[in-house]
Amino acid sequence: MRFILLLLFWSIVGNLVAQTDSLENVKSMNLDSTEIKNICAKLQIPNNLEANNDLLNFITDWIGTPYCYGGETKKCTDCSGFTTNLYMTIFGKNIPRSSRDIFNNCLPISKHALYEGDLVFFATSGGSKISHVGVYLWDGFFVHASTSRGVIISNLKQGYYRKTYVSGGAWLD
């Protein structure tokens, strides 16, 4: 009988510990979702509770960084400099330094199949020659270093980006 009581006791204690751990996980998830909502509001993008919090914090830190050709720091950056920094910091991936080289080493992805963290490529000089790269977020939004406004978030539905868009891409290691 004592064995059964001990077994019952440990079963109850184990369940209480598991419930406490679950409650802590839910609390931390709620804190993260609140933080994500706040960052999305600050960046003026649709809320996405499944968003990569590290990615959003990285973007928040870089938003407004001025553009300069060949730059790759928060002092000033170009599109591929920003993208290579983002990919190394957030995904631990070392990608080429030019938008064309990045494009040439990606698996092409349809615009409708883009996922957070995929790359988006543009031919901003006319034709089909890749000259600009950004990182896709969701709902058509992407982050990039614009020549006129520095690091910003834009939408693929905007006229300029809709006209110059060439392809999406997934980086393959």
- Catalytically active residues, by annotation: 79, 132, 144
First to last CA, the chain: 60
| Structural tokens at position 49 | 């509770």
* Cα separation, 160 vs 151, whole angstroms: 16
Query: What is the C-alpha to C-alpha distance for residues 26 and 21, in angstroms, rounded to an integer?
Result: 9
CB 171 within 8 Å of CB 99: no
CA–CA dist 38, 32 (Å, integer): 10
